[in-house]
Amino acid sequence: MRLLITGGAGFIGSQIAHRLAHKANYTVSICDRFGQAEDGKWSNLLGLPLADIIAPEGLLAWLESHWRSVDAVLHMGAISSTEVTDVDRLIEQNFRVSRDLWDWCASRQIRLIYASSAAVYGDGAQGFQDENLQGAATLRPLNPYGWSKLLFDHYALAAQGRGASPPAWAGLRFFNVYGPNEGHKGGQASVAWQMLQRARAGQPLQLFRSHRAGIEDGAQARDFVWVGDCVEVIAWLLEAEISAGVLNVGTGTARSYAELAKAVQAATKTQVPIAWIDTPQALRATYQYHTQADISRLRQLGYLRAFTSLEAGLAAYAQAIG
């Protein structure tokens, strides 16, 4: 199978490449921007046999000239920061680029898997069910990033309703993904990565205090999902040739930040203390206190593999980064 991965040097994209590029029946090309060598993003691709590397500004032209050599596009490239305030930039990168890729895949009948986000669910008041078109209109993201992702989900679902879709497609609403190859993201890397770095340096693990009545400090919870599990879902979708629509990718279990801190201590064999800090005022109005993927549709579609526990994932992560 011949794949093009956008964001292929990034966190999830590079992990997909590592999972598939060495397989005898796969060839992988990537599209990404690398920046300076000291940023380290290029090192996410060490050891990989790649067919081509394409600059983002040349992507559609490359696809049009190579479309007979592409079986599927895995669109992982995006602005992934929930703190970006330049809404025009978010619309351009997260909506228009995705829309153009969708339209191209539909016109050439090329399979498409793209990265959506659990940020579309906002504060979770409407639940975390991937009900596709029926439920999408009720969602209220808390930040422009989540809105940009929901905007494209809407576009994809409406296009499918018009019969203008790729032959098979999936929009994956990733929950809180953590694992190797995210270090280049710096402050936007997962809380798991941040905590592991602090524990290794012997520094206290910083956790936000709760600013909501009835929720204790550290009881804020997330569906933390190991990046390898996300990659396995993608590999399964490719092999099974399933058109899944918009689909949650998480463990289906919420774990508290206090539990995360304990798991980091165990993984690093340290007893660094927890330091409680106030949630920044700028984040309080948009801070999620609970996320938990409903993975019923994923299971109904036939994905039965167990997800990695938080403890096992952090142990593997600590070992991977040394």
DSSP secondary structure letters along 128-158: S---THHHHTT---SSHHHHHHHHHHHHHHH
- Residues 6 or more apart in contact with residue 66 via CB below 8 angstroms: 29, 52
| Tokens matching residue 29 | 């090309």
Instruction: Say which amino acid occupies 252.
Output: G
Distance of CA 72 to the CA centre of its chain: 18
How many Å apart are CA 239 and CA 154, to the nearest integer?
26
- 270, exposed or middle or buried, with CB in 10 Å at 0-12, 13-18, 19+? middle
Task: List residues with catalytic annotation.
Answer: 145, 185
58 to 27, 30, 86: CA distances (angstroms): 20, 12, 23
Q: Are 128 and 291 in contact (CB under 8 A)?
A: yes
Main-chain phi, psi angles of 51, to 5 degrees: -80, -35
Q: Read off the pTM.
A: 0.95
Domains defined along the chain, listed by start: 2-177+225-250+292-307 (3.40.50.720), 178-221+254-289+312-321 (3.90.25.10)
How many Å apart are CA 124 and CA 293, to the nearest integer?
10
Tens digit of each residue's pLDDT, the chain (322 residues): 999 999 999 999 999 999 999 998 999 999 999 988 988 899 999 999 999 999 999 999 999 999 999 999 999 999 988 888 899 999 999 999 999 999 999 999 999 999 999 999 999 988 999 977 656 678 999 999 999 999 999 999 999 999 999 999 999 999 999 999 998 888 889 999 999 999 999 999 999 999 999 999 999 999 999 999 999 999 999 999 899 999 999 999 999 999 999 999 999 999 999 999 999 988 888 888 999 999 999 999 999 999 999 999 999 999 999 7
Give residue 284's pLDDT: 85
| Tokens matching residue 180 | 């190797």
How many Å apart are CA 96 and CA 102, to the nearest integer?
10
